[in-house]
């Protein structure tokens, strides 16, 4: 009979199975109430959102063999009842009506210095549970003490508050992760839109534009991948933080079920410290507003065909001012050259003259820069800068820019 009784003990509550008894896919049995408790401890967010003890879907692990149990929309109520075990329990109880079921007793912790004394008070000064003899003439005789149940109630309330804070913080972290997913989608969409605009413009140009089209598309792809890699890496950090706090939350929930006050108090202090650390997300980067924007990839095209080789993305206003100054200087130089040609002698006017290969020295050609994406992390490196210096022979054609809309 004793061996039969051991087979009828629930591995969760350590008492005889309470009907209804459910059988898991791994063929282990649990009280339905205990199965629901294990499920809610493993899925705190589902129960917190639904606001009910009955939650649909989700999964948990069998406490006996750690096999993963996947629930359908009916939750634990969708698990099959083990009528055979329930009938055996009924027959066992009928045959042992005169013999009460022995209660499973938990050993109360004893004092390390006074082995025969139970821990029954709490030292406020040292923040440890102890016994009465330690207060009378032991290590805590000069310390402030309080009844064990008083400190138990206070710290349980504090632990409950911390659990609530952590649950709320995890919801905020989950919202941030969802926002990051949306940011990734926005980056993809904006990148697709910008690449589409550029490609549509290049489709109306000649074969000479194909090389530049590939170059500019690759630039967008490079920044897109850089931004996506950064967001994905940051999302992974938030996910790891969320996974760690979820495990910590499960430990805290299990600790709250500890009925023995001394054991509870021994576990509370380090657990509270970990819970407070879990609520801190200041070490995680935040994505700046507008980080997904790709509007700076607006291409400018040359009006003249000879300038097609110098097409690039829109340059800064400072560079435009420098180009205007260079254009004015070129106009002045061209005017002086024209006046000097008007004074050429008749004999030399009939001779053939060669035009200079370049109307402006190559050393004075402005430099166009492409700046990579900047991140919100203050410790990140400076954005990469790629310098492109046009040839002197085609520099004169780079002064007439217009936007994609003007070209279209």
Among residues 9, 68, 7, 13, the alpha carbon closest in space to that of 43 is found at: 68
**Cα 13 from Cα 16, distance rounded (Å):** 8
User: What SS3 class is residue 123?
Assistant: strand
241 phi, psi to nearest 5 deg = -65, -40
Let me know: does 327 contact 398? Beta carbons within 8 Å.
no
pLDDT band at 179 (very low <50, low <70, confident <90, very high): very high
What DSSP string runs through 10-26? -TTTSSB--SSEEE-TT
**Cα 59 from Cα 61, distance rounded (Å):** 7
Q: How far is CA 308 from CA 79, 194, 392, 394, 395, in A?
A: 70, 20, 15, 10, 11
Q: What is the pLDDT of residue 188?
A: 94
178 phi, psi to nearest 5 deg = -60, -40
Q: Stretch 249-267: mean pLDDT, rounded?
A: 87
Q: What is the pLDDT of residue 184?
A: 95
Which domains, ranges and CATH numbers included, belong to the chain?
Answer: 2-95 (3.30.40.10), 107-143 (3.30.160.60), 155-278 (no CATH), 299-335+360-407 (no CATH)
Let me know: does 70 contact 57? Beta carbons within 8 Å.
no
User: Where is average pLDDT lowest: 6-10, 69-73, 136-140, 164-168?
Assistant: 136-140
**Cα 186 from Cα 234, distance rounded (Å):** 16
Rounded to the nearest integer, the mean pLDDT of the chain is 73
**Cα 5 from Cα 8, distance rounded (Å):** 5
Does 407 have pLDDT greater than 80?
Answer: no
Q: What is the pLDDT of residue 120?
A: 82
Does 32 have pLDDT greater than 80?
Answer: yes
Does 401 have pLDDT greater than 50?
Answer: no
Tokens of 335: 């005017």
- Enclosing H/E stretch for 183: helix 148-203
**Cα 111 from Cα 133, distance rounded (Å):** 9
User: Where is average pLDDT lowest: 107-121, 275-289, 314-328?
Assistant: 314-328
Length of the chain (residues)? 408
Chain centre distance of CA 77: 34
CB neighbourhood size of 35 (10 A)? 26
User: Where is average pLDDT lowest: 128-132, 169-173, 229-233?
Assistant: 128-132
Q: Stretch 199-217: mean pLDDT, rounded?
A: 77
Q: How far is CA 407 from CA 193, 253, 304, in A?
A: 17, 64, 11
Does 98 have pLDDT greater than 80?
Answer: no
More confident residue, 75 or 1: 75
pLDDT band at 265 (very low <50, low <70, confident <90, very high): confident
96 phi, psi to nearest 5 deg = -130, 40
pLDDT tens-digit map of 309-368: 667 777 656 666 666 777 677 666 655 554 555 444 444 444 444 443 433 333 333 333
Tokens of 264: 């509870």
Let me know: does 43 contact 59? Beta carbons within 8 Å.
yes
Does 125 have pLDDT greater than 70?
Answer: yes
């Amino acid at each position: 009979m004793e061996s039969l009784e051991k087979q009828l003990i629930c591995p969760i509550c350590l008492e005889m199975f309470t009907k209804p008894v459910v059988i898991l896919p791994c063929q282990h049995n649990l009280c339905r109430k205990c199965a629901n408790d294990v499920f809610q401890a493993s899925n705190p967010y589902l129960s917190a959102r639904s606001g009910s003890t009955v939650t649909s879907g989700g999964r948990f692990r069998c406490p006996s063999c750690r096999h993963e149990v996947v629930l359908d929309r009916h939750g634990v109520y969708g698990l099959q009842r083990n009528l055979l075990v329930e009938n055996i329990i009924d027959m066992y109880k009928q045959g042992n009506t005169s013999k009460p079921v022995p209660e499973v007793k938990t050993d109360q912790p004893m004092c390390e210095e006074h082995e025969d004394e139970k821990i029954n008070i709490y030292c406020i000064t040292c923040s440890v549970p102890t016994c009465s003899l330690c207060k009378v003439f032991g290590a805590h005789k000069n310390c402030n003490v309080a009844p064990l149940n008083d400190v138990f109630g206070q710290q349980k309330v504090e632990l409950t508050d911390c659990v609530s804070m952590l649950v709320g913080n995890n919801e905020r972290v989950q919202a941030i992760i969802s926002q990051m997913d949306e940011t990734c989608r926005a980056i993809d969409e904006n990148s697709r839109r910008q690449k589409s605009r550029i490609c549509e413009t290049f489709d109306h140009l000649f074969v000479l534009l194909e090389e530049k089209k590939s170059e500019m598309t690759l630039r967008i792809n490079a920044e897109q991948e850089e931004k996506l890699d950064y967001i994905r890496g940051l999302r992974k950090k938030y996910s790891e933080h969320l996974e760690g706090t979820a495990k910590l939350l499960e430990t805290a929930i299990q600790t709250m079920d500890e009925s023995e006050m001394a054991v509870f108090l021994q576990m509370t202090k380090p657990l509270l410290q970990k819970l407070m650390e879990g609520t801190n997300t200041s070490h995680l980067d935040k994505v700046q507003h507008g980080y997904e924007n790709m509007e700076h990839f607006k291409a400018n095209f040359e009006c003249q065909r000879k300038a097609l080789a110098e097409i690039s993305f829109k340059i800064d206003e400072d560079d435009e001012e420098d180009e205007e100054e260079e254009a004015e200087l070129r106009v002045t130089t061209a005017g002086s050259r024209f006046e000097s040609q008007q004074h050429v002698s008749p004999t030399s006017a009939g001779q053939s003259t060669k035009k200079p290969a370049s109307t402006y020295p190559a050393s004075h050609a402005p430099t166009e820069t492409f700046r990579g994406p900047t991140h919100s992390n203050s410790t990140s490196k400076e954005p990469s800068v790629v310098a492109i210096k046009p040839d002197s022979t085609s520099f004169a054609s780079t002064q007439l820019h217009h936007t994609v809309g003007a070209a279209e």
